[in-house]
Structure 1
Amino acid sequence: MLMTVQDFETAARMRIDPVHADFIAGGAGDEITVRANEEAFRRLRLLPRVLRGSAERALDISVLGSRARTPVLLSPTAFHKLVDEEGEAATARAAAAAGAIMIVSMASTVAVEDIAAAAREAGEHGDPPPLWFQLYIQPDLGFTEALVRRATDAGCAALVVTVDSPVRGAHERDLRNGFLDLPPGLRCEHMVDPREGGRVHPIAMSPVISWEHIDWLRGTTSLPILLKGALHPEDARLAVRHGVDGLLLSNHGGRQLDTVPATVELLPEIAAAVAGRIPIVLDGGVRRGTDVVKALALGACAVGIGRPVMWALAAGGEKGVRRLLELFREELDHALALCGASGVRGLPPDLVRAPAWGPASAHTEREGGA
């Protein structure tokens, strides 16, 4: 019976190519940050309140105009067809059925139009699917703008711009396994360039991308823009000054620069830096409902999960992802009840204790994010 994220990973490894399993699990360098993301949550402790009198917990959220029935988002992950023949379409149906926001990866093996159609098919009463689109700004700004229009036309409600990848991370597992490209028959559907007769471009990581490109993007779209991968408090403050609408606090799951801190360790400082002016979503190491509670109490309005989604898709396709999201919802509701909380909004920072520094640092009250 699949009862934990570890159960999904174990089941997935029995079904898929070990090389692809390594691609999902692996990170950069010695994978210190990969391990740190989960270990940091384990070090944090919850200090519950009692006699709070709430029969039910409110789990719904609203982030930048997107409403969801759960604060657990699906972070952008590449190449879903590596583990399931329906790929991102199956993931989208599961997310829509759960009422969870799915961030569509630019490196999807299913086109955003088909992902949106799958989500509409599974959504309740034909409601528009809560989809966001993850973007690497390409040196070819014309291609980038066309891709933004494409995501907008498909119904995506926000752009998540990855900014921690001036170059690709060094994935030693993939190098040892010789996993350097997608198998025949699979491609990054969003990198097909109609201007060149359908040529498939590689995703370009460019060290020249700067704040000027964020300003350019802000001028080309009315969609909310979140930055994914800004870890330094000063960059968080700069994001606010440049008109960014939100942050996805992420270290790319440890897949870019190894030895950077776990995201949950950085969360109180980032929350203080933005001072409630923009919402923060956190990903990296979220494996339990108690992890969700800790992140929300420390300043996030929602969390994202990446590798768990891939393991669930590999283990059971659409049904596997639905079960995973149900599991997170059940664990979150249970943890909130035991913490004496009536829902996911307004959780106080003193709910969380860390052995090294006692009560969590207070963060400024957030607005518009939860």
Structure 2
Amino acid sequence: MVILRCAGKDATDDFDSVHSLELLSEALPETALEGYIDPAEFDTPEDKPAAMYEKQSKPADDGLPVLQSLINLHDFERVAQRLPATTWAYYSSGADDEISKLNNALAYRKISLRPRVLRKIPSVNTTTAILGYSTTLPVYVSPVGLAKLAHPQGECAMAAAAGKDGLVQVLANGSSMPIEQVMKSRTSLNQPIFQQLYVNKDIQKSVETVQRAERAGASAIWITVDSPMVGKREMDERLNLRVTVCTLPGRCHWTFIVFTNVFQATDDNAEGQGVAKIMASSISPFIDWEILTWLRQLTDLPVVIKGIQCVEDAVLAYQHGVQGIVLSNHGGRSQDTAQSPLLTLLEIRKFAPHLMESKLQIFIDGGIRRGTDVLKAIALGATAVGLGRPFLFSLSGYGEKGVRRMIDILRQEIETNMVFLGVSSLEELRPEMVNTIRLEKHLIASVKL
């Protein structure tokens, strides 16, 4: 279908909007090369005005606000709304009524800070360690797929920015850039990149993902378990986006997607499918805690389990010997009305405080948009926080410079509010520095561990 739709037309934009050029050379044999084509030979599709074609195929670069005029993370989100509608829907949508997505951010607003005065803080130290790797902020790049939809450099631009600003990046299983290319974009050989893993229905593909990550030099595996199937992301589906999934033969079993937007769809009766639903179609829903045993037999890399949503599972993860857990409801993109990760952190504090005193590192993501949000999570026992959508939004139109500007804004907010709290280092943050009573009333009365 894709070949017929693109027959006689330039398919470069369809491919480049999602994938790296290296995909072709790695997935196809040299005999597949049929020759070279002069781009001048192609015409703009007759059934679609040129302006519309440009708008749908790439983000607008003209008329962007001056980067220095963006002064908070919300500003980047507003600018990112200039992205093509299908891209914006994939990046920003939540499940169902988006209650979980909204509550993730609302939870932080329900917690108040308790500043201390007259503490004489000449400087602050925001460094910490994630799985033994130093980071200049208690913040990491959460795994976000298809970053190339936001900017041609995609995950490579994020890696470059993370390296220059001393952050850790978790590379998405659905990265639009191959891990080898992302590793080349680092600023030093010591810059850590962690690999996210979704367990594939074809387990051999997951074996290859882990082995490839090891060969490339990944420093840890973050296995995501909170989306055994995709949530009902209505904004994404409402655009009636058709996506064709193609698998190329080869040692890595490359899979790529081709977009067919509403202007190109030909079957009026075809069911609309969002990008998320197609991207998640290969994830196995048939795994249990034994998958950690399988992963341990496959690699010696540190393992973090991403998607813990209650204290009971946090305890089970600890008992299974993982190095870290991520409290996450997938950014509100999986099961709507799932409780906020910050509430899960309070559950752990109340019902399993021994986890806070162990070597287990506890990470948290979802709804974090301010430096005060970061400090609240750290004060309550989190090791570091992950941001996903904000990195995509800052990448949109600006590339690496946008990501670095966003990190700088977050750094300034964290440093300023540490002074207000009267602390000079992250280690000095304590639970008594936050008032959680408005959020605690949502805690479950008791649990059986």
**Structure 1 length-normalised TM:** 0.89
Tell me by how many angstroms 1:319 deviates.
Answer: 0.4
Are 1:9 and 1:315, in contact at CA under 8 Å, matched by a contact in 2?
Answer: no
**Which of these residues, 377, 384, 395, is aligned with residue 302 of structure 1?**
384
Is 1:143 aligned with 2:211?
Answer: no
Q: Corresponding residue for 1:100?
A: 167
Q: 1:47 to 1:137 in 2, by over 3 A?
A: same
Are 2:205 and 2:253, in contact at CA under 8 Å, matched by a contact in 1?
Answer: no
Higher Rg? 2
Q: 1:276 to 1:192 in 2, by over 3 A?
A: farther
Is 1:168 aligned with 2:246?
Answer: no
Separation in 1, partners of 2:440, 2:328: 24
Separation in 1, partners of 2:118, 2:440: 24
Separation in 2, partners of 1:196, 1:3: 42
Alignment of 1:61-76 (within 5 A): 61-76=128-143
SS of 1:228's equivalent? strand
Separation in 2, partners of 1:337, 1:153: 43
Deviation per residue, 1:76-124 (Å, 9 max, x gap): 11101111111111111111111110110001100011011101xxx2x
Q: Corresponding residue for 2:346?
A: 268
**Which of these residues, 80, 84, 87, is aligned with residue 12 of structure 1?**
80
Structure 2 residue ranges without an equivalent (≥5): 1-68, 258-278, 444-449
**Structure 2 length-normalised TM:** 0.74
SS of 2:297's equivalent? helix
Structure 1 residue ranges without an equivalent (≥5): 362-370
Q: Corresponding residue for 2:12?
A: none
**Which amino acid in the other structure matches residue 415 of structure 2?**
D
**Which amino acid in the other structure matches residue 85 of structure 1?**
P
SS of 1:285's equivalent? coil
Separation in 2, partners of 1:54, 1:116: 38
Deviation per residue, 1:175-202 (Å, 9 max, x gap): 10123538xxxx99xx866347755596
Q: Corresponding residue for 1:244?
A: 322
Separation in 1, partners of 2:252, 2:134: 38
Q: 1:139 to 1:357 in 2, by over 3 A?
A: closer
Q: Corresponding residue for 1:157?
A: 219
**Larger displacement relative to structure 2 (167-176 or 272-281):** 272-281
Deviation per residue, 1:137-172 (Å, 9 max, x gap): 123332212211111221211111101111111111
Tell me by how many angstroms 1:313 deviates.
Answer: 0.4
**Which of these residues, 243, 251, 276, is aligned with residue 181 of structure 1?**
243
Separation in 2, partners of 1:281, 1:192: 36
Is 1:91 aligned with 2:173?
Answer: no
Q: Corresponding residue for 2:57?
A: none
**Which amino acid in the other structure matches residue 426 of structure 2?**
V
Separation in 2, partners of 1:26, 1:54: 41
Identity, % of aligned positions: 37
Separation in 2, partners of 1:178, 1:211: 36
**Which amino acid in the other structure matches residue 296 of structure 2?**
R
How many pairs were matched up? 348
Tell me by how many angstroms 1:24 deviates.
Answer: 1.2
Q: Corresponding residue for 2:41?
A: none
**Which of these residues, 389, 392, 403, is aligned with residue 321 of structure 1?**
403
Separation in 1, partners of 2:242, 2:364: 29
